Structure 1
Amino acid sequence: MVQLKQIKLLTTEYNQFILITEQVMGLVRESNIKNGMVHVITKHTTTGITVNESLECLESDIEEFLTRLVPEHLPYAHARMLPDYGSTAGNPTGHLKAHLTGNHCHFVISDGDVLKGDAQDIYFCEFDGPAQRTVLVQVIGE
């Protein structure tokens, strides 16, 4: 059986980390799939999905790390007029940060439980907000 669900988010900041672990776990429970996989994928190229320990100090460290790797003030090639879009691209750092975090994660489902470490939480990462965002959650199994 395959079930596709969505998590809708309205982000409130330019860069933001949002825990979605409980929403994903709830969708897995609702699916009634006992053994299989859950796939979590963002639909946006300036957002990420990552797994880490949910500590405020660690979130701050990750944000600072990404800011050092991808500073706002550099002259990025993407920050220019894009005739196809009819506007100026102003989000090169969002694309680059999303490239570093990745856009998905996967977990095994066994006996109805998502098998993850005690300190593993799922984050939706916003790098070009605020915006309306969609995360796909596909539960596959029996």
Structure 2
Amino acid sequence: MYIKPIVLLTKTYNEMDVITPQVEQIVKESGIQNGMVTVLTKHTTTGITVNEALECLESDIALFLQRQAPEDAPYSHARMLRDYGSTAGNPTGHLKAYLTGNHCHFPLVEGEMIRGGAQDIYFCEFDGPAKRTILVMIQE
């Protein structure tokens, strides 16, 4: 298995970043011709999702997630957590990450990821800005 991280410095509290070009570059670097590509975020307030890279669709997705997890709702997670020694202020980040998921898979055939013509891989930040790590794993 070939594993390589992508490290991002996100800029805003909520953002969606297309990472398809970085993933494709790592696939090429791996030299693996046939197998499976998995992209996984290492954080519980971020997501990995696949969709068409259109600004209008990105804003629709952001509005959908805001409606599902509004910032001003009464969340159990928004309280003092003794284990952390602070107040948890990111319940919406966890819920949005739950909705988007934390990984995606694509088959790899003859050195190319097999994906639909309009499919791009998004890294979704829901508790930024922060330094984030995404793992790209390629199995033969």
Task: Indicate the residue corresponding to 2:80 in structure 1.
Answer: 81
What is the CA–CA distance in structure 2 between the aligned matches of 1:113 and 1:41, rounded to whole Å?
A: 19
Deviation at 1:88, TM superposition (A): 0.3
Deviation at 1:38, TM superposition (A): 0.5
SS in 2 for 1:106: strand
What is the CA–CA distance in structure 2 between the aligned matches of 1:69 and 1:99, rounded to whole Å?
A: 11
SS in 1 for 2:28: helix
Task: Indicate the residue corresponding to 1:112 in structure 2.
Answer: 111
What is the CA–CA distance in structure 2 between the aligned matches of 1:69 and 1:3, rounded to whole Å?
A: 36
Q: Which amino acid aligns with 2:54?
A: L
Task: Indicate the residue corresponding to 2:91 in structure 1.
Answer: 92
Task: Indicate the residue corresponding to 1:56 in structure 2.
Answer: 55
What is the CA–CA distance in structure 2 between the aligned matches of 1:95 and 1:50, rounded to whole Å?
A: 15
SS in 2 for 1:44: coil
Q: Report percent identity of matched pairs.
A: 67
Task: Indicate the residue corresponding to 1:66 in structure 2.
Answer: 65
SS in 2 for 1:57: helix
Q: Which amino acid aligns with 1:40?
A: V
Task: Indicate the residue corresponding to 2:19 in structure 1.
Answer: 20
Deviation at 1:24, TM superposition (A): 0.3
Number of aligned residues: 140
Q: What's the TM-score, normalizing by structure 1?
A: 0.98
Task: Indicate the residue corresponding to 1:102 in structure 2.
Answer: 101
Unmatched segments (≥5 aa) in structure 1: none
Task: Indicate the residue corresponding to 1:32 in structure 2.
Answer: 31
Task: Indicate the residue corresponding to 1:41 in structure 2.
Answer: 40
Deviation at 1:44, TM superposition (A): 0.1
Q: What's the TM-score, normalizing by structure 2?
A: 0.99
